[in-house]
Amino acid sequence: MRTLRGEDADFRAAVEATGRKKMIMAGLWTEVCLAFPALDMLNEGYEVYPVVDAVGGVSPVTHQTAITRMVQAGAHPITSLALGCELMRNWARSDADLYRVIINDYFHRKRRIGDATGDLFRQ
């Protein structure tokens, strides 16, 4: 992996120090910043969860192709909304209201985009 084989020794050391094998990942460009390290991490035995709406490609085709490539290699794509809810697990938690603030902002922004485009979940 580019980031784990020595291109960034500090990052490699930090990842390995956690002892964890599940990685939640995002990046600037899907087809480069996310796909390359995700594919390398999958190859090294990590479980990779790319947050597909927290990254973008230079075009819809390159974005989707990179996601498809990661999935074919064994990645488990997830959205930011699903990730947050999965991490929350139980809305009875004492800190649930903190996530509600984030999720309400997410839907507020999505509605504004939908009002402007006519499509609430336009890609």
Catalytically annotated residues = 33
Cα–Cα dist 22/77, whole Å: 13
In three-state secondary structure terms, 97 is helix
- CA quadruple 67, 36, 106, 94: dihedral sign: positive
Please tell me what DSSP assigns to residue 29. B
Report the Cα–Cα distance between both ends of the chain, in Å, rounded. Answer: 30
Let me know: does 75 contact 50? Beta carbons within 8 Å.
yes
